[in-house]
């Protein structure tokens, strides 16, 4: 027969009750049932274990009777309130029993219904929350500590949510903003700074959220705050939130301003120095031009007596020395004013070395010093350098090697490859240099020779050479032995292109000269300094078949040029009213003078001036003081050009 059938015995109701008891006892939390009368109806095993009482000691007794000292009013009130309201209540706090001292419990009171006698009852589930409370406490402490730290931080910290409402601001932030916390936290950026600035913050916030580094400056009165804005998605809400971190950079800004002011001042001082240099250059060259020029003209005069010729040579020597001094000092000045620019390219060494030796041959002859032949194979390479500046350095080293040598001494130039570098060595059989003197070698105006006056020099050459080498990314040095000689060397990177044609550094080949006996050619010189005009006339006597005309004023010069249509125009740059560049422009703009070669003859000899002159379209740019041979060569070249141009037109 199936159990529970109509004819079976009545079900055993003690079974579900026992099951309920087992279930209740299995719960690890304390469970008790109390009536409105505060009498315990049931306690589970967990309850008994915690309270250290047996169930039979508890059930049927009132709470206040069991725990006369420890039942607090709150728990009794909780039973009443739970029953009258018919709602679950939670009460937490310590249990005032000696063996539970220091522990915190949380009781949940739930209305249960009535017992068999009709008394309303409450089920109380109590759990030990001491651990949780301790954790909470710790968390709160940690939060307070963090807060104190953030407040003590000398930077500004603020947090705002996706609506740009401030959710946090540290004390420093409030101090800088001069606002109490309640005026910031809970308020939006719009409210605080107005919609326009808020829109800007909104744009910045969007960029920060996209991961961009957003840093900007904000002035608050005299303070400049540099703000770094970050944005991220809040893990709990899934919404963006932003943090602004500000540091006071006012002092930095002040220092920066001072630095900028100092830099501007230095730049203007540099400009002033440069202006002074070019002014001095111009002022010195003009009289030097007359001295050097007339001395050359005199020297070419065949009627001169031997003593007069010797005196002229002295004038020339003195003037050339002065010229070199001016050039070197100005170069050094330009370097120190930061105005020296080098144009690096492939420079073929062999032709350059040959050119330098050729130029120094007369000096070597005069001093009785032999220039040893070059080893073409060694020097057959190109280096990365500025051709003009490298030539200047080599001429200085070779010149010194000749000057500081003995009669019948030797000077050699050779090259050694050191990996990607080429070392060019100038060696001599001179007196050498004592080790303690070496330091002074490259110091401007220092001369270390025993009797400096015995050898002409300025003491600038090596200082200038070192700076030039540095500007070209190279090096300069010396190995020397007293009584044996010196080896001055420079080092430059080898250039891959070693196939530069030989004539690259030499003069341009001359075009065919006009046939002898051609008609007299007119040359117009526009120059406001009468001494220079007289000098030019004297110098141009050395080019046969020329008729020189001159004009002191630029407009008159232009009129003369249009009327005369000379074969060549020589043009000063610093003219009253119109400068040489403007005159050149007008000459080029007019049909009558468009193709006439124009050579600038100027005392503006700073490298920038020369570069500007060449760029402007002058046939050549000659600087004062003029060298007779150079002037003659340029004039002849220009006239050939003029002749070719007129032949073609």
400 lines the binding site for ligand ADP (CB under 6 A)? yes
* Least separation in angstroms between CB 405 and ligand ADP: 7
| Shorter beta-carbon distance to ligand ADP: residue 427 or 642 | 427
Using CB under 6 A as the binding rule, whether residue 505 contacts ligand ADP is answered as no
- Nearest residue to 247 (alpha-carbon basis) of 164, 175, 172: 172
Q: Which is nearer to ligand ADP, 370 or 553 (CB)?
A: 370
Do residues 44 and 31 lie in contact, with contact meaning Cβ atoms separated by under 8 Å? yes
Q: Which residues contact 634 (CB under 8 A, 6 or more apart)?
A: 599, 619, 620, 622
DSSP string computed for 32-84: EEEETT-BEEEE-HHHHHHHT--HHHHTTSBHHHHSTTT--HHHHHHHHHHHH
Contact 560, 549 (CB under 8 A): yes
Instruction: Kindly state whether residue 429 participates in binding ligand ADP, applying the rule CB under 6 A.
Output: no
Residue 427 interacts with ligand ADP (CB under 6 A)?
Answer: no
* C-beta closer to ligand ADP: residue 204 or 401: 401
Name the token pair of 436: 């303690």
Q: Least distance to ligand ADP from the beta carbon of 283, Å?
A: 23
Question: Cβ of residue 479: shortest distance to ligand ADP, in angstroms?
Answer: 11
In the complex, what is the shortest distance from the CB of residue 524 to ligand ADP, in angstroms, rounded to a whole number? 40
Q: Whole-angstrom Cα distance, residue 42 to residue 59?
A: 6
Q: Rule CB under 6 A: say whether 331 interacts with ligand ADP.
A: no
Our finding on whether 433 is near ligand ADP (CB under 6 A) is yes
Q: Judged by CB under 6 A, which stretch of 17-25, 363-371, 459-467, 581-589 contacts ligand ADP?
A: 459-467
Tell me the HSE value of 413 on the side-chain side, using a 13 A CA sphere.
Answer: 29
CB 479 within 8 A of CB 423: no
CB 542 within 8 A of CB 300: yes
CB-nearer residue toward ligand ADP: 169 or 462 = 462
Cα dihedral 562→567→573→578 (10° resolution): 0
**Residue 296 interacts with ligand ADP (CB under 6 A): yes or no:** no
Q: What are phi and psi of 230, to 5 degrees?
A: -125, 155
Place of tokens 């060549």: 568
Going by DSSP bridges, is the β-strand pair 521-526/568-571 parallel, antiparallel, or unpaired?
A: parallel
In the chain, the largest separation of any two C-alpha atoms, in whole Å, equals: 168
Q: Minimum Å distance from CB 400 to ligand ADP? A: 3
CB 536 to ligand ADP: min, Å: 31
Select 241 or 391, whichever has its Cβ closest to ligand ADP: 391
**299 is a contact residue toward ligand ADP (CB under 6 A):** no
The rounded distance, in Å, linking the Cα atoms of 352 and 392 is 11
Q: Which of 421, 448, 471, 632 binds ligand ADP (CB under 6 A)?
A: 448
* Interface segment toward ligand ADP; rule CB under 6 A; list 123-131, 156-164, 381-389, 451-459: 451-459
Closest to ligand ADP by CB, 35 vs 431, is: 431
Stretch that binds ligand ADP, among 292-300, 358-366, 444-452, 513-521 (CB under 6 A): 444-452
Q: Which is nearer to ligand ADP, 330 or 635 (CB)?
A: 330
Locate 417 and state its tokens: 């490859």
Which of 220, 449, 549, 565 is in the footprint of ligand ADP by CB under 6 A?
Answer: 449
Work out how close the CB of 303 gets to ligand ADP at its nearest, in angstroms, rounded to a whole number.
36
| Contact pick of 241, 447, 466, 467 for ligand ADP (by CB under 6 A) | 447
Token pair, residue 440, equals 């002074």
Does residue 430 touch ligand ADP according to CB under 6 A? yes
The answer to whether 282 touches 574, Cβ cutoff 8 Å, is yes
Question: Which one of residues 128, 331, 428, 491 is an interface residue with ligand ADP (CB under 6 A)?
Answer: 428
Question: Smallest distance from the beta carbon of 486 to ligand ADP, in angstroms?
Answer: 4
Beta bridge partners of 34: 40, 122
Question: What SS3 class is residue 490?
Answer: strand
126 binds ligand ADP (CB under 6 A): no
Which residue in 462, 526, 596, 639 binds ligand ADP (CB under 6 A)? 462
Number of residues engaging ligand ADP in binding (CB under 6 A)? 22
Single out the segment in contact with ligand ADP by CB under 6 A; choices: 122-130, 396-404, 557-565, 641-649.
396-404
Nearest Cα to 574, choosing from 583, 566, 565, 561? 583
Which of 369, 441, 587, 596 contacts ligand ADP by CB under 6 A? Answer: 441
Rank residues 58 and 460 by Cβ distance to ligand ADP and give the closer one: 460
Burial classification of residue 305, based on how many CB atoms lie within 10 Å of its CB (0-12 exposed, 13-18 middle, 19 or more buried): exposed
* CA dihedral sign of residues 564, 565, 568, 573: positive
List the one residue from 50, 170, 396, 623 that touches ligand ADP (CB under 6 A): 396
Contact range with ligand ADP by CB under 6 A, out of 423-431, 597-605, 615-623, 627-635: 423-431
Contact indicator for 486, 433 with CB cutoff of 8 Å: yes
Q: In the complex, what is the shortest distance from the CB of residue 406 to ligand ADP, in angstroms, rounded to a whole number?
A: 11
HSE-up of residue 522 (Cα within 13 Å, Cβ side): 12
In the list 231, 333, 457, 625, the residue contacting ligand ADP (rule: CB under 6 A) is 457
Structure-token pair, residue 425: 């060595």
460 near ligand ADP, rule: CB under 6 A: yes
- DSSP letters along 196-226, please? HHHHHHHHHHHHHHTT--EEEEEEETTEEEE
What whole-number distance in Å separates Cα of residue 302 and Cα of residue 290?
20
Give the footprint of ligand ADP on residues 465-494 (CB under 6 A).
Answer: 486, 488
User: Smallest distance, Å, CB 372 to ligand ADP?
Assistant: 15
The site for ligand ADP (CB under 6 A) is made up of: 396, 400-401, 404, 428, 430-431, 433, 441, 447-449, 452, 457-463, 486, 488
């Amino acid at each position: 027969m199936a159990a529970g059938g109509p004819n079976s015995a009545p079900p055993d109701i003690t079974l579900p009750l026992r099951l309920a008891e087992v279930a209740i006892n299995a719960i690890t939390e304390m469970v008790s049932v109390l009536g409105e009368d505060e009498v315990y109806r049931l306690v589970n095993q967990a309850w008994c274990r915690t309270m250290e009482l047996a169930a039979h000691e508890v059930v049927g007794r009132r709470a206040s009777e069991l725990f006369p000292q420890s039942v607090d009013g709150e728990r009794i009130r909780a039973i009443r309130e739970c029953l009258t309201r018919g709602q679950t209540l939670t009460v937490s706090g310590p249990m005032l029993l000696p063996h539970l001292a220091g522990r915190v419990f949380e009781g949940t009171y739930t209305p249960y219904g009535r017992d068999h006698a009709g008394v309303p009852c409450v089920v109380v589930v109590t759990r030990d929350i001491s651990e949780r409370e301790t954790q909470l406490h710790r968390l709160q402490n940690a939060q307070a500590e963090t807060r104190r730290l953030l407040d003590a931080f000398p930077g500004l910290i603020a947090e705002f949510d996706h609506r740009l409402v401030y959710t946090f601001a540290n004390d420093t932030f409030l101090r800088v903003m001069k606002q109490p916390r309640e005026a910031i936290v809970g308020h939006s950026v719009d409210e605080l700074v107005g919609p326009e600035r808020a829109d800007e913050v909104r744009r910045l916030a969007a960029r920060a959220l996209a991961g961009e580094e957003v840093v900007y400056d904000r002035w608050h009165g005299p303070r400049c705050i540099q703000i770094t804005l970050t944005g991220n998605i809040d893990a709990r809400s899934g919404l963006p939130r932003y943090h602004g971190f500000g540091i006071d950079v006012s002092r930095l800004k002040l220092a920066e301003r001072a630095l900028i002011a100092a830099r501007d001042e230095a730049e203007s001082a540099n400009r002033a120095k440069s202006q002074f240099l070019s002014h001095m250059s111009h002022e010195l060259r003009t009289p030097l031009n007359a001295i050097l020029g007339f001395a050359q003209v005199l020297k070419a005069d065949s009627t001169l007596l031997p003593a007069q010729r010797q005196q002229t040579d002295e004038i020339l020597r003195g003037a050339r020395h002065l010229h070199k001094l001016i050039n070197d000092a100005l170069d050094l000045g330009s370097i120190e004013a930061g105005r020296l620019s080098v144009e690096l390219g492939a420079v073929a060494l062999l032709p350059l070395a040959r050119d330098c030796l050729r130029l120094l041959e007369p000096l070597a002859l005069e001093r009785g010093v032999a220039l040893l032949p070059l080893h073409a194979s060694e020097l057959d390479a190109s280096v990365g350098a500025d051709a003009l500046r490298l030539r200047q350095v080599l001429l200085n080293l070779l010149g010194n090697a000749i000057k500081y040598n003995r009669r019948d001494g030797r000077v050699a130039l050779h090259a050694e490859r050191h990996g990607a570098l080429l070392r060019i060595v100038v060696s001599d059989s001179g007196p050498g240099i004592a080790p303690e003197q070496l330091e002074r070698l490259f110091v401007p105006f220092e001369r270390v020779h025993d009797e400096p006056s015995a050898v002409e020099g300025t003491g600038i050459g090596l200082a200038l050479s070192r700076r030039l080498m540095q500007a070209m990314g190279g090096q300069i040095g010396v190995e020397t032995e007293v009584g044996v000689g010196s080896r001055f060397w420079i080092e430059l990177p080898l250039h891959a292109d070693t196939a530069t044609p030989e004539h690259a550094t030499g003069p341009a080949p001359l075009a065919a000269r006009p046939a002898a006996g051609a008609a007299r050619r007119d040359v117009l010189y526009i120059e406001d300094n009468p001494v220079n005009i007289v000098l030019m006339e004297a110098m141009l006597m050395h080019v046969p078949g020329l008729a020189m005309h001159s004009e002191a004023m630029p407009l008159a010069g232009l009129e003369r040029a249009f009327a005369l249509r000379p074969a060549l125009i020589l043009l000063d740059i610093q003219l009253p009213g119109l400068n040489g560049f403007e005159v050149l422009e007008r000459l080029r703009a007019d049909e009558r003078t468009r193709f006439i070669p124009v050579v600038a003859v100027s005392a503006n000899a700073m490298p920038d001036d020369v570069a500007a002159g060449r760029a402007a379209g002058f046939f050549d740019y000659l600087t004062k003081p003029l060298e007779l041979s150079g002037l003659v060569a340029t004039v002849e070249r220009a006239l050939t050009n003029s002749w070719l141009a007129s032949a073609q037109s």
